[in-house]
């Protein structure tokens, strides 16, 4: 049931979309600079539409079902977001238009900056970073610039807990910082003794995901932050798990110096099959001057009969821009729409119900799956997928078998500190019926693991495709479509 590739579907001479003849007199093209062939496929519109619709049917999606992928916050993406982002006034504005002609965009960005600052308790914020990892790189560069500006040049060490996402150490390494791993303690918190001994006058800071990737809120958060601050370091918040904190606690209030937000997780902008994301960064007052520029600000205050004029300003000691133009504006429109519709009470409910849902699944699985750090969790938790009486069964087998029950598997093998980890994040948008069906499936699979292990080893069975030969993919490295033998190289 494979779908041919767009090149295999090509038939020379077909065209999907054509354009008018030029309405200006023709000039000759510069022969010596022209290309000879342009090997693109040739199809009619209906061929293209059917092809991609057929492909879409092979995807599992949030619109199609439950997607409890830990750390990814696969919540329902409201349809209105898609409509507002496509309003012609937003979609057809050029990033370099004079500010007088884009006051709507700038007002939206300014307001969103204000809202995000308020939600997490920061003094200033950039909307420019394109994704979470890009926000991290921005944050790391800000931390470096801050220390350098104070003449404190010997700080080269970034502390990162062992439960952190891989992007944290990678972002630090991109700025040539040395990464020092900090272990977790027996309750899943940052190990205070280890942290203390790692902190010294070469410490740039700590990159902390809280709640961490075990779904646990650090029980000694204030102490962790104090230890880092005491050695002159900064505390960076990885906002991947902000969904659990909306209206519950503001990271800025407890001493985080800066943090990135994932608009594509917390604020419902869709994941798009892997992107685009959007990763704004909020900072405390003493870091505001280092933000990437430009930022949106009021450049002329409002008067009795005139609204304020919004424009761009560049922070004094800016690290510079981290991408072209102003960030993923289309994602900003979606996040704005989402926050406007939730208000302060709705935002808090998001956190409350995401935590309720995670704890409910955890309660339902009790006694069947081991949860290594068994406390009240936040928006997600990690279960071990191994049983003494089911040798040979791995997390991967359970994950693949879940597909036969029509669920997307949880994140597996992460965080690295739990063996055979299944990281489950249901989000707030799932109802009790769905959660029960999912828990029932997992419990059934745990029984299958013992009774009929091969059923798991060979899973999935009911999906359009089975397990993949990943070794072959890496060995053969076929990364491009096969070009039909009779593909005609056209001459211009």
Site residues (CB under 8 A) for other proteins, limited to 72-111: 72, 74-78, 80, 82-98, 100-105, 107-108
Q: Which residue among 192, 309, 437, 481 contacts other proteins (CB under 8 A)?
A: 481
Minimal distance, residue 12 CB to other proteins, in Å: 9
- In the sheet that holds 381-384, the strands lie side by side as 381-384, 421-424, 411-412
For the CA atoms of 113, 114, 117, 122, the dihedral, rounded to the nearest 10 degrees, stands at 100
* Choices 49-57, 230-238, 296-304, 381-389; region in contact with other proteins by CB under 8 A: 49-57
Residue closer to other proteins (CB basis): 328 or 394 = 328
Q: According to CB under 8 A, which one of 66, 67, 369, 438 is a site residue for other proteins? A: 67
Ranges within 231-270 binding other proteins (CB under 8 A): 247-250, 253-254, 268, 270
| 292-331 residues labelled b (16+ CB within 10 A) or e (exposed) | bbbbbbeeeeeeeeeebebbeeebeebbebbeeebbbbbb
Q: Minimum CB separation from other proteins for residue 124, in Å? A: 17
Restricting to residues 162-181, which ones interact with other proteins according to CB under 8 A?
Answer: 165-167, 169-177, 179
Judged by CB under 8 A, the chain residues 322 through 341 that form the site for other proteins are 322-331, 333, 336-337, 339-341
Q: Is the peptide bond before 159 cis (omega within 30 degrees of 0)?
A: no
C-beta of 87 vs 450, nearer to other proteins: 87
The first and second tokens of residue 433, run together, are 């019926």
Which residue do the tokens 């699985």 mark? 365
Contacts 24+ apart (CB under 8 A), 348-351: 348/246, 348/247, 348/248, 349/247, 349/428, 350/243, 350/246, 350/247, 350/428, 351/243, 351/244, 351/245, 351/246, 351/247, 351/248, 351/379, 351/428
Residues 5-44 vs other proteins: string with x where CB under 8 A? xxx--x---xxxxxxx-xxxxxx-xx-xxxx--xxxxxx-
Q: Which is nearer to other proteins, 11 or 450 (by Cβ)?
A: 11
Strand order in the sheet with 203-209: 124-126, 281-283, 258-261, 234-239, 203-209, 157-161, 178-182
> Could you tell me how far CA 321 lies from the centroid of its own chain?
21
Minimum distance from residue 456 beta carbon to other proteins (Å): 14
Least separation in angstroms between CB 295 and other proteins: 14
Give me the least distance between CB of 303 and other proteins, in Å please.
18
Tell me which of 66, 68, 69, 442 binds other proteins, using CB under 8 A. 69
CA 179 – CA 164 distance, rounded (Å): 12
Which of the residues 353 through 392 are near other proteins (CB under 8 A)?
353, 355-357, 359-360, 362-364, 375-376
Among 479, 485, 486, 491, binds other proteins (CB under 8 A): 479
Q: Which stretch binds other proteins (CB under 8 A): 115-123, 231-239, 381-389, 445-453?
A: 115-123
Provide the minimum distance between the beta carbon of 113 and other proteins in the complex, in angstroms, as a whole number. Answer: 13
Q: How many angstroms separate the Cα of 224 from the Cα of each of 162, 203, 221?
A: 15, 14, 5
Q: Could you give the 3-state DSSP secondary structure of residue 12?
A: coil
From residue 125 to residue 164, what is the string marking binding to other proteins with x (rule CB under 8 A)? -----xxxxx-xx--xx--xx-------------------
Closest CA relative to residue 74, chosen from 61, 87, 83, 84: 61
Number of residues located near other proteins, criterion CB under 8 A: 204
Pick the closest to residue 6 from 60, 50, 56, 36 (CA basis).
50
Residue window 266-295: x/- pattern of binding to other proteins, with contact defined by CB under 8 A: --x-xxxxxxxxx-------------x---
Q: Rounded CA gap, 470 and 419, in Å? A: 22
Asked if residue 214 binds other proteins (CB under 8 A), the reply is: no
Q: Are 202 and 157 in contact (CB under 8 A)?
A: yes
Task: Quote the least distance from Cβ 388 to other proteins, whole Å.
Answer: 27
State which H helix or E strand residue 311 sits in: strand 309-313
Kindly tell me which of 16 and 450 has the beta carbon lying closer to other proteins: 16
- Both tokens assigned to 374: 């068994």
Considering only 185, 289, 297, 352, the residue that binds other proteins (CB under 8 A) is 352
Q: What are phi and psi of 462, to 5 degrees?
A: -100, 0
Q: What is the C-alpha to C-alpha distance for residues 108 and 372, in angstroms, rounded to an integer?
A: 44
The total number of residues shown for the chain amounts to 492
- When binding is defined by CB under 8 A, the residue of 192, 196, 298, 349 that contacts other proteins is 349
Contact window for other proteins (CB under 8 A) among 67-75, 227-235, 385-393, 443-451: 67-75
Residues between 181 and 210 that touch other proteins (CB under 8 A): none
Interface residues for other proteins in 390-429 (CB under 8 A)?
399-400, 403, 408-409, 414, 428-429
Closest approach, Cβ 347 to other proteins, in A, equals 7
Considering only residues 418 to 477 of the shown chain, the ones binding other proteins according to CB under 8 A are 428-432, 458, 460, 463-470, 472-474, 476-477
Give whichever of 213 and 386 is closer to other proteins, judged by the CB atom.
Answer: 213
| C-alpha separations of 384 from 35, 323, 370, 412, 442 in Å | 57, 40, 5, 10, 12
Signed CA dihedral, 133, 180, 182, 232: sign only: negative
């Amino acid at each position: 049931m494979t779908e041919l590739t767009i090149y295999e579907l090509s038939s020379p001479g077909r065209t999907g979309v054509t354009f008018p003849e030029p309405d200006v007199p023709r000039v000759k093209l510069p022969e010596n600079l022209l290309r000879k062939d342009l090997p693109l496929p040739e199809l009619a519109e209906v061929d293209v539409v059917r092809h991609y619709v057929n492909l879409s049917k092979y995807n599992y999606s949030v619109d199609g079902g439950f997607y409890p992928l830990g750390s990814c916050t696969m919540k329902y993406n409201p349809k209105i977001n898609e409509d507002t982002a496509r309003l012609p006034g937003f979609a057809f504005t050029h990033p370099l238009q004079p500010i007088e002609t884009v006051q709507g965009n700038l007002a939206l960005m300014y307001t969103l900056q204000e809202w995000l600052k308020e939600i997490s308790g920061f003094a200033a914020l950039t909307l420019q970073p394109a994704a979470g990892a890009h926000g991290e790189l921005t944050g790391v560069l800000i931390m470096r610039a801050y220390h350098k500006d104070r003449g404190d040049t010997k700080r080269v060490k970034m502390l990162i807990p062992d439960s952190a996402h891989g992007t944290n150490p990678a972002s630090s390494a991109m700025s040539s910082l040395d990464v020092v791993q900090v272990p977790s303690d027996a309750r899943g918190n940052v190990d205070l003794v280890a942290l203390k001994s790692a902190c010294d006058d070469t410490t740039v800071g700590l990159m902390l995901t809280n709640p961490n990737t075990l779904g646990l809120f650090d029980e000694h958060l204030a102490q962790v932050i104090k230890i880092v601050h005491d050695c002159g370091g900064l505390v960076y918040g990885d906002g991947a798990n902000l969904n659990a904190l909306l209206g519950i606690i503001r990271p800025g209030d407890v001493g985080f110096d800066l943090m990135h937000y994932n608009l594509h997780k917390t604020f419902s902008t869709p994941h798009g099959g892997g992107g685009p994301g959007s990763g704004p960064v909020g900072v405390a007052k003493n870091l505001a001057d280092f933000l990437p520029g430009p930022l949106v600000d009021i450049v002329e205050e409002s008067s009795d009969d005139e609204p304020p004029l919004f424009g761009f300003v560049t922070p004094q000691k800016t690290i510079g821009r981290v991408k072209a133009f102003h960030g993923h504006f289309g994602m900003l429109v979606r996040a704005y729409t989402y926050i406007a519709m939730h208000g302060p009470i709705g935002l808090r409910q998001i956190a409350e119900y995401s935590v309720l849902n995670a704890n409910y699944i955890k309660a339902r699985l009790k006694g069947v799956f081991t949860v290594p750090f068994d406390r009240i969790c936040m928006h997600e938790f990690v279960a071990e997928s191994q049983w003494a009486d089911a040798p040979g069964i791995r997390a991967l087998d359970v994950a693949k078998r879940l597909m036969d029950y029509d669920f997307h598997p949880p994140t597996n093998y992460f965080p690295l500190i739990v063996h055979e980890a299944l990281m489950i994040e249901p989000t707030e948008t799932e109802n009790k019926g769905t959660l029960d069906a999912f828990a029932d499936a997992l419990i059934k699979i745990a029984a299958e693991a013992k009774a009929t292990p091969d059923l798991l080893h060979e899973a999935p069975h009911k999906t359009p495709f089975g397990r993949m030969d990943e070794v072959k993919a890496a060995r053969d490295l076929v990364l491009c479509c096969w070009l039909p033998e009779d593909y005609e190289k056209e001459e211009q």
